[in-house]
Structure 1
Amino acid sequence: MPEKAPNALLRAWRTANRLTRLEMAERINATPTGIAERLACDEERVRRWETGEVRWPSTFYRLALTQLAGLTPEQLGFSRSIRHETRKAVASVSARNDHPAKANAPAGVPRTVDLVSEGEDEGAMRRREFVGLTGAALFSAVFHQPEPSHDKGLDTDDLAVALLEHSSFTDGPADLASIAAMVAQAKRSYQASHYSQVIAGLPSLIRTLRTACFALDGDEKLRAHVLSAEAHHIAASILLKQENKGLAWLAADRSLLAAHASHSPLAIGSSSRVITRALMDGAHHRVAVSTANTAAARMDADLKQPSGDELSIYGSLLLSGAVAAAQTGNRHVIAELLDEAAQAARRLGYDGNHQWTAFGPTNVLCHRVNIALRLGDAGTAIDHARQIDLDRLPTNERKGTLLIDTAQAFLMCGKHDKALQVLRAAGQIAAEEVTGRPAALRLVRDITVTAPISVRREAREYATSLGVVA
C-alpha cells in the first residue's frame, strides 16, 4: 500500500470501507479538523482528488484524511518540513477530544481555540499553506479573527444630508468632553473596519459638532473645530472607500476648512492627507503630490524636536504624496518621498497610531507594496509584502488594505489560488474592507472570472457568499 500514489490510496481506502464519494466527503467534514475549519468537502471534490484532476489536497484536507483513514503523513505525500507539525496536530486533536472538559463543550463551538490553547499553534499549519505567498510573517495574525459578517453595502444618504446642511443646530449646550469621546470612538470603529457602524453615527455627530463650532467661544471653539476636522476626515475616508467621489470631496473640504479654523498645525496636516487622497481619487495626481508636499514642508520647518504626533502626521503626508506620485509614474519623486517617510518612521522608532495614522516603519513598507502595485510591478509588491509582520500593524483597517493589495498582486501574477486565499484572510481580519468596498468586490469578480478550473469552483462559492455575480 505505501508504494501507491496518494490519489490511489484515497480511492483504495474508500473502496475497502464500501463508502460512496458522498459518504467519504461527509466523513471528512465530520473529523475534528473538518468541524473546526469547515472544510466543506463534497462528492465532486473527492472525485477530482481520486482521478487526479486537481493537485493533492491542501494541508487541512490531508490532516482530515490522516484522522479519518489512519494513513501516515508519508503515505499522503506530505513534505518533510510539515510532517512534524502534522503529527503534533493529530496528537493534539486526539488529546483534546479525550479531555472531559472538551467532551462537554457546547455544540457548535469551534474546536480551533482548543488547538491553540493546548500548545499546538494551529495557525502554524495554515500558515504553511501561505508560505511562498507573502511569507509566514505577513499572516501571523490572520487565523484567530472573527468570521466576516457579509453586510451588503453602506447607506450614505443620511450622511449626505448632514454634510449638505448649513444652518441646522441641535438644542442644548455643547459638551466637548462627550463630543471628543464620540469622535474617538468613531475613529476606533473606522480603524477596526466597522464602517457601517461609523456611517450610522456620523450624521448626528456632524450636526452636534456644527452646533458646538457655532455656539462656543475662545479655546473651546478652536477645540470644536479640531474635532469637526477629525469627524469630517473619517467621513471622507469611508466615502473614498465607497468610491463616492462627490461626497468624499465635500467631506474632505469640510475637514480642511475646520482644520484651518482651528489654527492647529496638526489638524491642518492631518486634513491635508485626506484632501490629497480626494484629489488623487479625482485623478488630480500632480495637484495631490503638490498638496502633500506643501503640507509636509510646512510641518518639516517646525520639526526640530518633534513629538510622536508631529512625526506621524509628517510621515503620513509623505506617504500620501508618494502614492499620488505613483499615479504619475514619477519614480524619482516616489523614491524621494518614501525615503523621507522611512526616515521619519526611524525617528519615531516603532509602529504607533499617533493621531490615528497607524504610522511607523511597517506602514511605510505597506505603502511600498501599494506603490509597486500601482506601478504595475506585482513581483516587487509581493517581495515587499513578504517582509511584513502583520502583528506590527496597529489597526485592522490597515491590515485589510494590505492584504487586498497583496491579493491584487497575486492576481496580476496569475496566481489565482493565492489571491483568493489572501483575500479570504482580509475578510477574516477586516470584514467590511471586503464586503463594503466596490474595489474589493471587483477583485473577487476578477478572480472568479479568470480563475483556472482548479480554483474556479472555490472562487465562485466565495463570490456567491459575498453576493458577487461574475
Structure 2
Amino acid sequence: MQQAGMGHLIRQARQAKGWTQSELGSRIGYNKTRVSRAETGTQPIRDVTVLRRLADVLGVPPSMFGLADRAPTLASDLDMSASEASVDRRAFLGVAGAVGVSAAFPIPAAADEPDPATLLEKRISACLFTTPGASAVPMPVVELQAGLARAQAGYNACRYVWLSGELPRLISAADATMAATPTAGTAALASASYQLAAHALAKLLVSGLQPMAADRAVHRAHQANDPLVLAQARRVLSTAARRIGDYDQAERVGIRAIEDLPLTHQDDPIIWRHAVELWCVAGYAAAIRGDRDRFVECYREAAAVAAQINDHHQQRQARDYALAHQISSAYKLGDSATALDAARQVRLDVLPTTERKGRYLIDLAMAWQQHGHDNHASRALLLADYHAPGEVRTRSSARRLISSLATSSRSRGMPELVGLARRAHVAL
C-alpha cells in the first residue's frame, strides 16, 4: 500500500473513533507529532509490531496495512438460508469509518417485501382478538415444539414478514392443543407462543397488543407451573408495562420474577442468564423514569449475577448482553458517553443472534446521534441494515432515527440514507 494512502486510512479510522492524534498515540506508544507524520505520509510506519498494534486499537483488519489478516467471522446460528458477514463491531468502527460503508459492505437492494411492521400488527392483532383456539386444530406436541423452534429461529434472524404469517398459526394451534390436552407441557408451549408474539410486538409503536400478549403468556405460564417459564413470561410483561408508561410496575414485575427464580441451581447457567436479563429490564425501566441511582444499581446487580455463571461461554454472553442492554438505557438517561463506553466493550461476534446484533447496532446509532455525531449514527444504521435488515425495517426506533437523520441539515453528507429510508418504508 502506498504510504500516503495508509496515512489517510489511519486518519479516517482514528476520526471514526472520535480520537485525537494524541489519544491514538498514547495507545500505540507514539506522541502526537509522530502520529501526524504517519497520517501525512512524511514518516510512514514500517514496524510490523506497531502496525499490528495499530490495527488492533483502531479495530481494522491487519490486511489494510499489508499484514496477514486474522479477522473474526460471525457464524449463523440458524438452520435457515440466512448468513452473516465476517465483520465485527471494531471492524465497523474502523473499516466503515475509513473506507465508507458503501465500500466496506454492499448496499442491499431496495426492499421488495411489504412493510413487516404493518404485517406483524395486522396479523397478530387478528389472532389476539379471536377466542383462543376457537377455530384451530390441535397439533401433536412434537410438531408444535418444532414449529415454535422454527418461529424462534425466524425471530432471531429478524425474518419478521415470515414470522407475521407463521406466529398467529402457532398461537392458535398451541391454544387448541392445550384445550384438548391440558398439561403443564402444553401450557408452557402456549406461553412460549404468546411470549414470542410479545417480543415481536415490542418492535412496533406502543399499542395495547403487547400487554395483551404478555398477559396471556403469564396466564399460561402459571398453568405450566414452571418457575423458569413464569420468569420468562414476567419479563415480557415487565417490558409491556414499561412501554405503556407504568415504570414502577415494570420494575416490580421484573424483581418478582428474579425472586421466584431457583437461583440455588448454580450448575444451570440458563437460569442465571435469565436473572441477568431481568435485572437489565429493571435497569431500563429505571433509566426511562430518570432514576440514575437505580439504573446503576440494577446493572451492577446484573454484572454480579453474570459473574456467578460457572460456564465461561455463557458468562461472557450474559456479560455482553448486559453491556449491550446498557447502551439503550444510558441513551434514555441522556448519557451518550456512558452508552458509547458500554458499546466499545461489546464484540458484535459474541452477541448470539442476528436480532441482538441488529438491536446493538441501532442502539449504537442512537447513542452516536445523541452524542452529536450524525455521520457515525448513519454508518451504524447502514451496517445494521446490511447485518440485520429485518430489524432496521421493523423496529420503530430505527425508522424514527432514519427519518431524523435523513431530514436533518447535515443529511447532504449522508446520501445513503435516502435508499435506506426507502428500504425501511420511511416516508421523507
Per the normalisation by structure 1, the TM-score is 0.68
Gap runs ≥5 in structure 2: 14-37, 46-50, 56-61, 70-84
Gap runs ≥5 in structure 1: 7-54, 60-72, 93-112, 133-138
What's 2:272 paired with? Answer: 311
2:204–2:395 contact (8 Å) kept in structure 1: yes
What's 2:357 paired with? Answer: 399
Q: Is the aligned partner of 1:162 residue 2:127?
A: yes
What's 1:443 paired with? Answer: 401
Instruction: Report the residue type matching 1:468 in the other structure.
Output: V
Instruction: Report the residue type matching 1:190 in the other structure.
Output: Y
Q: What pairs with 1:186-197 in structure 2 (closer than 5 Å)? A: 186-197=151-162
Cα distance in 1, alignment partners of residues 89 and 176 from structure 2: 50
Instruction: Report the residue type matching 1:195 in the other structure.
Output: Y
What's 2:250 paired with? Answer: 288
Cα distance in 2, alignment partners of residues 172 and 273 from structure 1: 29
What's 1:39 paired with? Answer: none
1:351–1:393 contact (8 Å) kept in structure 2: no
Q: What pairs with 1:118-133 in structure 2 (closer than 5 Å)? A: 128-130=94-96
- What is the deviation of 1:424? 0.8
Cα distance in 1, alignment partners of residues 125 and 96 from structure 2: 42
What do residues 415-469 of structure 1 show as CA deviations (whole Å, max 9, x unaligned)? 1111100111111121111111221111011112225265143333433443423
Instruction: Report the residue type matching 1:419 in the other structure.
Output: A
- What is the deviation of 1:86? 4.4
- What is the deviation of 1:158? 2.9
- What is the deviation of 1:231? 0.7
Cα gap change, 1:248 to 1:85, in 2 (>3 Å) = same
1:352–1:359 contact (8 Å) kept in structure 2: yes
What's 1:98 paired with? Answer: none
What's 1:338 paired with? Answer: 299
Cα distance in 2, alignment partners of residues 333 and 74 from structure 1: 45
Corresponding residue to 2:328 among 366, 370, 382: 370
- What is the deviation of 1:167? 5.6
Cα gap change, 1:167 to 1:274, in 2 (>3 Å) = closer
What do residues 62-94 of structure 1 show as CA deviations (whole Å, max 9, x unaligned)? xxxxxxxxxxx98999985689844649x99xx
3-state SS of paired residue (1:242): coil
Cα gap change, 1:462 to 1:57, in 2 (>3 Å) = farther
1:411–1:419 contact (8 Å) kept in structure 2: yes
What's 1:70 paired with? Answer: none
Q: Is the aligned partner of 1:299 residue 2:257?
A: no
3-state SS of paired residue (1:225): helix
3-state SS of paired residue (2:175): helix
Instruction: Report the residue type matching 2:226 in the other structure.
Output: S
What do residues 305-361 of structure 1 show as CA deviations (whole Å, max 9, x unaligned)? 4512211222211111111111122222222221221122122244549xxxx9611
Corresponding residue to 1:327 among 271, 288, 291: 288
Q: Is the aligned partner of 1:420 residue 2:378?
A: yes
Corresponding residue to 1:361 among 294, 299, 319: 319
What's 1:274 paired with? Answer: 236
Q: Is the aligned partner of 1:237 residue 2:199?
A: yes
Cα distance in 1, alignment partners of residues 326 and 44 from structure 2: 33
- What is the deviation of 1:391? 0.9
What's 1:203 paired with? Answer: 168
Cα gap change, 1:229 to 1:323, in 2 (>3 Å) = same
Corresponding residue to 1:176 among 141, 161, 171: 141
Cα distance in 1, alignment partners of residues 319 and 91 from structure 2: 28
What's 1:46 paired with? Answer: none
Root mean square deviation, CA, Å: 3.7
Instruction: Report the residue type matching 2:378 in the other structure.
Output: L
What's 2:216 paired with? Answer: 254
Cα distance in 2, alignment partners of residues 77 and 333 from structure 1: 52
Q: What pairs with 1:38-57 in structure 2 (closer than 5 Å)? A: none
Cα distance in 2, alignment partners of residues 370 and 283 from structure 1: 17
Cα gap change, 1:280 to 1:397, in 2 (>3 Å) = same
What do residues 112-163 of structure 1 show as CA deviations (whole Å, max 9, x unaligned)? x9xx8xxxx999976533579xxxxxx9xxx789947734233132322221
Structure 1, 326-335 or 148-157: larger mean CA deviation: 148-157
Cα distance in 1, alignment partners of residues 136 and 270 from structure 2: 34
Instruction: Report the residue type matching 1:449 in the other structure.
Output: T
Cα distance in 2, alignment partners of residues 122 and 346 from structure 1: 24
Per the normalisation by structure 2, the TM-score is 0.74
2:88–2:348 contact (8 Å) kept in structure 1: no
3-state SS of paired residue (2:308): helix
Query: Percent identity between the aligned chains?
Result: 24
1:350–1:361 contact (8 Å) kept in structure 2: no
1:169–1:208 contact (8 Å) kept in structure 2: no
Cα gap change, 1:76 to 1:195, in 2 (>3 Å) = farther
- What is the deviation of 1:58? 6.7
Higher Cα radius of gyration? 1
Instruction: Report the residue type matching 1:396 in the other structure.
Output: T
Instruction: Report the residue type matching 2:166 in the other structure.
Output: G
Cα distance in 1, alignment partners of residues 142 and 44 from structure 2: 59
Cα distance in 2, alignment partners of residues 160 and 422 from structure 1: 32
Cα distance in 1, alignment partners of residues 126 and 214 from structure 2: 15
Cα gap change, 1:144 to 1:424, in 2 (>3 Å) = closer
What's 2:26 paired with? Answer: none
Cα distance in 2, alignment partners of residues 352 and 144 from structure 1: 30
